[in-house]
Amino acid sequence: MSRLLQILLPLIIVSHCINAYAQKFQLIPEYAKKSHVIVHLDCNSIRAKWEQGESRFEYLLYIIAASLTRSDVYVSICDKIDLPTTLFEMDIADPTNNLFSWYEFLNDDYENVSYIFGRIHTITQDMQKKHGGKVHRLFLYHKKQTQDRYDNSFDMIWTRDYSYISAVNGSTLTLLDYLRPEKINPSNINVEKMLNKLESGAINKSTPRDSSYLHLIKHEQPYLESVGARIVHLPITIQPSEITTDSHRNIYISESVYNKNMSHLMTERQCDLLQKENPSETMCEYDIELILRKYLDFNKLIVLKTNKNESTHHLDTVIKFVFSPSKQKSQALLSVSNFSNVDHCNANCAVDQFNRNQLKQHGIEFEEIEDAGAYETRSTYNYVNSLILDPSTVLIPYYVPEDGTQDKFLTAQNQKAIAIYQKHFTHVIPITMYGLTGAVHCMTSDIPMIVPRN
């Protein structure tokens, strides 16, 4: 080998590695500052009986109001409520001329909607006085009614489950879509082309999903283009609530991801045979980690289990990563079963221990945060289903019985959780949850703040 080739070969290899790496994406940690928060006001909540400070749907208004002090908020609203424009911007700081001027456009739900947005204005002012920040923009738009797997109306508040996974390549924002019931070949396309295909029904035509992100993309396209945003399709089923990352570039997924993908993942032998028959086949996959590594740049893949009482089996009921400025790295808050409820604890002690061992094995620092038990065996009163708005602000669930009465045990668990979060955040904002099978993180979606490229 010539001396020149000996010098150039390492450079060629490094260059090739850099190019390969540049095509992959990094997940954005949940503790990143948010640029946009998306919430849905469904028809059921709009039509509910609203009483001053007593409605069980007040938690939605508090989430919207608290988020407004830190980021823009997009509210996809029940399409039975008329709006003066397709995307209606409210000036929350001037309700006299802007917040209430459009009520002439409303239908029979006038009184409820008037109350709802009046409350948002009042709560936002209170939040700003207590927690600082400035009031951002509030947008309203309709969410189309599509068929849902549960009640055939798809008018749900669980926005997170049907949104996108936020990732970045350098300073390029990337929204990761995932496999729906229809099998779609993976492709990297720009926002405009994806919108055209979605609107024409070329893809995902009958797939239930929340349209929040699509509408956000459509009306925030100048912002997304400024950071070079695009949509990339992952050839597996993995919801945003089932995956997260930390400061070490590890990726965490819930064990349920494997179960969801068993129907369309092939064995290694099947994959080899298919590729011999059709070398151009791109959907031949048999290993989730291999699939993820094709698209994502990460260190380790760590699988965690969910509580036996958690019907969704989502990762955002198990773990939350917060950032420690003093240590300049993330730390995990691990949800574990409370020891006061013996049956609940015994049913889940093996799961808790498995998750502890997983984190210890990989050298991940964590602090345990006890849940407050199970709700009708369908979900857990966990405290990691929270929303981090910026490095100093977090919204966490504060659980009360469905009838609104006081419960000493729930109150004690709530206070323990607040104390743990106060170690990491200046502003810990409790959001009261009335006997729900989900919490703050499930009810929201978001786009992290990305610095635009020059």
Look at residue 15 and tell me if it is in a domain: no
Residue 268 pLDDT > 80, yes or no?
Answer: no
Lowest mean pLDDT among 31-35, 68-72, 148-152, 301-305: 148-152
Q: Give the CATH number for residue 252.
A: 3.75.10.10
pLDDT at 422: 97
CA pair distance 109, 242, nearest whole angstrom: 36
Look at residue 14 and tell me if it is in a domain: no
201 vs 338 pLDDT, higher one: 338
Total domain count for the chain?
A: 1
Question: Could you tell me the pLDDT band of residue 190, with boundaries at 50, 70 and 90?
Answer: very low
pLDDT at 110: 56
Look at residue 156 and tell me if it is in a domain: yes
pLDDT in tens, 97-149: 454 444 444 555 556 777 788 888 899 999 999 999 998 999 888 765 444 33
Look at residue 224 and tell me if it is in a domain: yes
pTM, 2 dp:
0.82
Look at residue 154 and tell me if it is in a domain: yes
Residue 181 pLDDT > 50, yes or no?
Answer: no
Residue 452 pLDDT > 70, yes or no?
Answer: no
Look at residue 73 and tell me if it is in a domain: yes
Question: Could you tell me the pLDDT band of residue 271, with boundaries at 50, 70 and 90?
Answer: low
Q: Average pLDDT over the chain, rounded to whole?
A: 75
pLDDT in tens, 304-320: 999 887 888 899 999 99
Provide the residue range defining the domain that includes 96.
24-448
Look at residue 2 and tell me if it is in a domain: no
Look at residue 53 and tell me if it is in a domain: yes
Question: Could you tell me the pLDDT band of residue 174, with boundaries at 50, 70 and 90?
Answer: confident
